[in-house]
Structure 1
């Protein structure tokens, strides 16, 4: 028994050594990718990245190698066999058994392919409903049932297929060669798979059921973690085979043990060192395919108090024995305890008008003391019988003509802008629709809203939407949207007298949007505007256009926005995106034409903005969500009010100010203290002496099941210093005037960091954050 156990341990140790060596090679390649992606004075050194990535990848590699080693030892108890030996064993079977195996192998391959196709299509349909936990359980049960059914059907085909193969073997002996029949089946499956990838679009549409494989063409899809894991698996698998013909002496065994386990000392060292190396940690999280996954797993494993954060591997937990203190906790202002591990306790709110933190408190004083003045100007200078149309466009960057974009993507909005007020530096709350659009309509920061913890946030009825305030003022409220998220269950239609989602397509709206809905949405809007009960008195209409959201569908009538000779996935995607924006603008133009033709159109104000922006390769990312870089949170903001002089507002402004502005335009007052923003009415009416007041802008993206928490403040003279909070005591600081692309992190410059941090803390002190845990 002892020799057998000793032999098993030696074999396992060799497998672990092979996995460890492969892990080091993977870490070297990932560190090179992280190093190449770095920029700025604080970019990490290659050696630091290599040590950190190796430290986090190695435990995952050893676990994988241990599992593989145990499984292979169970399947091959005497010694490891190479794949050639396994194939030779299959071919050496008796004829009857070999013919049966020759039938089973291709059927198993086809069952696997068909199972993947069916489950993938089912998952796409189910997850379009948005209820992740319910859908996950349903999909798990369904996938097992599908596999069982397909396996039963395949087994019924084994006898007839075996007879067919046996009959053909008289002329073609390879018919009963399991290797040959398996190779043919595998080749056919690859052809089918390649056809699906080619025929389907990046949203999984087209090409029938096989079109689901088209998602693999997504430019942002990163398959490198799978490749890295396969490399580690290969190392763990081949090492015992390579040494199988050699005697594994005690010396060789000790060497393999050292190769496997000695680097774990590096893991122990980096577990603490990464806490003091935020640039290295963020580089791994952003640019290391397997390292980013490994660091998340290790944080979860080392989270002793189970509060969602670890005290190791840069997890930021300042007290891993107290679940009430972590980077994910809410900080109680002024209690002397740093609950959220941000580096200091959030102070108590300063008195209105205090200048101790510069722009932040100055803005607060203006909010407290100047709101009534703005409302007074609105009453004095704006008509009291205006209608209002709010148009939000999903995923719209400030790359529009009226904000200086050099491509004619928004001709209709550009004409409207000629008589409107344009905000040159407007910001959304967050880079994800579920975190930004509800708060935009409520008038509070996302963390202050009553919501659930799902990815697609549902907003509680206790929130008071701008539509409810207008409805209560006897203003008719109606609107339309074209995505399933905007059905009434989300809460976004609260206060609507009529809400139209008829433009929502039956399919094509999973995690990405492959549908085209701008025409249908405009058709629905025109029908709403044609109803006498909607326009006979004062009204408010909200429309949300979705088409610029990925995937970017082509439009035959749209101009070609791809510059001649332009190459690269990002440039091609950006040109397709520009075509989508043009298409939305084209159909918004139909709304504007209808307004111009109606008598009530002359007294209708129009506001156009977006929920977030979009990335096209900036900061090594595509699409949106997760981060709050400038390209993801800067949005257009156009306000047309009949009778107001057109002009630009050059200073920074935030989405939290939109609801009080809409209410001022409509001469509706909100009870004091219910809104978190300050009306932009003074900006609309025109600043005295062409001097617009500076304000800080606060960005707030709460934690979600698939997105991390991100906060930021833009402080000081526009464009300002931007402080990004990644959780805990993890910050980045950028001077947007000198560094608009956010490349040079100045967080280590304490003299520049401190005043922006104090403004950030002062803003948080005034907020009434609500703790909402992410739902699975």
Structure 2
């Protein structure tokens, strides 16, 4: 009899522990997903950049977050890249590669899964390419689009292109955090636009990295590299860096406010860029031009709940991960089952134990000039790029010996290893 009672007590204790960790709404972690448009990893201090563009995020990367050394976006412009973040699918499977093309409406989104698990889901975007009619609001209880209009009295700071400034988004995010439902955990998504062209940071960030009085170029994406002087290029980059520094400040406002709240410690936080940016490395500026690392390599920082696990703050995870791995990681940290249809893999093990990941090939896609489509597969050694209809590669790079991707091994008539031929199969889309 005593033994039976001990067994019953043990089961009750186990159930209670499980409920405290995973079941009760008071202990389930909130999730804050911070996305920054056009943010290159190579222009952040913690990734080795020479300018002090991100002092706040750099500090958090050492004290709270885990930083991933190599994260590759699923597309080199917003629509395919963000839909891949939301669906954990490559662009050929979710279909959102151009605004006028149909997309896969059956794809399960991250917000859907959180909502079905009992979360309140709120999205705040400053990017017109992620509005409701393109399918990005799927699964969100509230989807606030501040890319064109703002509530009375708020105003647009970035008038030239109609985007709300980062400080505005941070205040909106803090307002949502303050009004969160006490009986529900919260999934909050914010999409900052500041590093997106045109680069016109507010004072004092507008002159923070400017070296001379060279005038700022306008409509840089329309100017070819041969028409841009070294001084003009440096002036554009200085303005871009100023936008990053301002956005770093805006994000710190949001995180400082979260830290002061009663839910701050029990919040999963991710900061990631949707894609990178070109500065005439290959004759063009902007993004969506190619699938080279300047447009695909993005920063990734993840912070699990501070009291909820044995992770190492300040750790750096080596090896390659894909942006489609972020959604399953967030679900794993929240103890929510990952949809079987998703292609990404959870990075929870790397967060908890650090070290490195065994990088899987990452597939990216974009539409480029003259209506052409481009698709790439990147491993930790090679990058293979193909043009539609993706029958065979047109570019192959050894990114270990040639990290700037300047030597196309196909043009050099190099003998390609068998690994390249296997990667060619991944270039063939599912659509």
- TM tier, smaller: 0.7 to 0.9
1:752 aligns with 2:416: yes
Residue of structure 2 in register with 1:539 after alignment: 186
1:560 aligns with 2:208: yes
Q: State how 1:7-156 maps to structure 2 within 5 Å.
A: none
Aligned 8 A contact 1:733 1:753 in 2: no
TM-superposition CA deviations, 1:201-223 (whole Å, max 9, x none): xxxxxxxxxxxxxxxxxxxxxxx
Aligned 8 A contact 1:503 1:520 in 2: no
TM-superposition CA deviations, 1:647-681 (whole Å, max 9, x none): 10121111121111111011110243x11111111
TM-superposed deviation, 1:466: 0.5
1:686 aligns with 2:315: no
TM-superposed deviation, 1:723: 1.3
1:732 aligns with 2:399: no
Q: Structure 1 CA distance, aligned partners of 2:413 and 2:349?
A: 36
Q: Which structure dedicates a bigger proportion of its chain to helix?
A: 1
Among candidates 282, 295, 314, match of residue 619 of structure 1: 282
TM-superposed deviation, 1:393: 0.3
1:711 aligns with 2:375: yes
TM-superposed deviation, 1:504: 3.5
Residue of structure 1 in register with 2:40 after alignment: 397
Residue of structure 1 in register with 2:382 after alignment: 721
1:466 aligns with 2:110: yes
Q: Structure 2 CA distance, aligned partners of 1:576 and 1:702?
A: 26
Q: Which runs of 5+ in 2 are unaligned?
A: 1-16, 23-27, 215-229
Aligned 8 A contact 2:127 2:163 in 1: no
Cα distance, 1:751–1:706 mapped onto 2, change above 3 Å: closer
Name the SS of the counterpart of 1:626 in structure 2. Answer: coil
TM-superposed deviation, 1:438: 0.8
Aligned 8 A contact 2:368 2:374 in 1: no
Among candidates 296, 313, 320, match of residue 633 of structure 1: 296
Cα distance, 1:553–1:741 mapped onto 2, change above 3 Å: same
Cα distance, 1:502–1:741 mapped onto 2, change above 3 Å: closer
Among candidates 8, 21, 29, match of residue 386 of structure 1: 29
1:606 aligns with 2:292: no
Aligned 8 A contact 2:376 2:427 in 1: no
Q: Structure 2 CA distance, aligned partners of 1:411 and 1:737?
A: 29
Among candidates 362, 368, 375, match of residue 698 of structure 1: 362
TM-score if structure 1 supplies the norm length?
A: 0.46
Aligned 8 A contact 2:386 2:394 in 1: yes
Q: Structure 2 CA distance, aligned partners of 1:460 and 1:527?
A: 33
Aligned 8 A contact 1:724 1:733 in 2: yes
Cα distance, 1:741–1:515 mapped onto 2, change above 3 Å: same
Q: Structure 1 CA distance, aligned partners of 2:303 and 2:21?
A: 13
Residue of structure 1 in register with 2:70 after alignment: 425
Residue of structure 1 in register with 2:329 after alignment: 661
Aligned 8 A contact 1:460 1:491 in 2: no
Cα distance, 1:710–1:744 mapped onto 2, change above 3 Å: same
Paired positions, count: 378
Aligned 8 A contact 2:268 2:330 in 1: no
Moved more, 646-655 or 499-508: 499-508
Q: State how 1:581-600 maps to structure 2 within 5 Å.
A: 581-600=244-263
Q: Structure 1 CA distance, aligned partners of 2:253 and 2:101?
A: 31
Aligned 8 A contact 2:170 2:254 in 1: yes
Cα distance, 1:515–1:469 mapped onto 2, change above 3 Å: closer
Aligned 8 A contact 1:389 1:604 in 2: yes
Residue of structure 2 in register with 1:229 after alignment: none
Q: Structure 2 CA distance, aligned partners of 1:645 and 1:483?
A: 34
Name the SS of the counterpart of 1:556 in structure 2. Answer: coil
Residue of structure 1 in register with 2:243 after alignment: 580
Q: Which runs of 5+ in 1 are unaligned?
A: 1-378, 771-776
Residue of structure 1 in register with 2:171 after alignment: 523
TM-superposition CA deviations, 1:671-708 (whole Å, max 9, x none): 43x11111111111125xx4x24223323315589652
Among candidates 495, 508, 514, match of residue 139 of structure 2: 495
Among candidates 649, 654, 667, match of residue 317 of structure 2: 649
Q: Structure 1 CA distance, aligned partners of 2:367 and 2:48?
A: 34
TM-superposed deviation, 1:735: 1.2
Q: Structure 1 CA distance, aligned partners of 2:260 and 2:115?
A: 26
**Of the two, which has the highest radius of gyration?**
1
Q: Structure 2 CA distance, aligned partners of 1:530 and 1:405?
A: 35
Q: Structure 2 CA distance, aligned partners of 1:414 and 1:421?
A: 11
TM-superposed deviation, 1:746: 0.9
Q: Structure 2 CA distance, aligned partners of 1:536 and 1:561?
A: 46
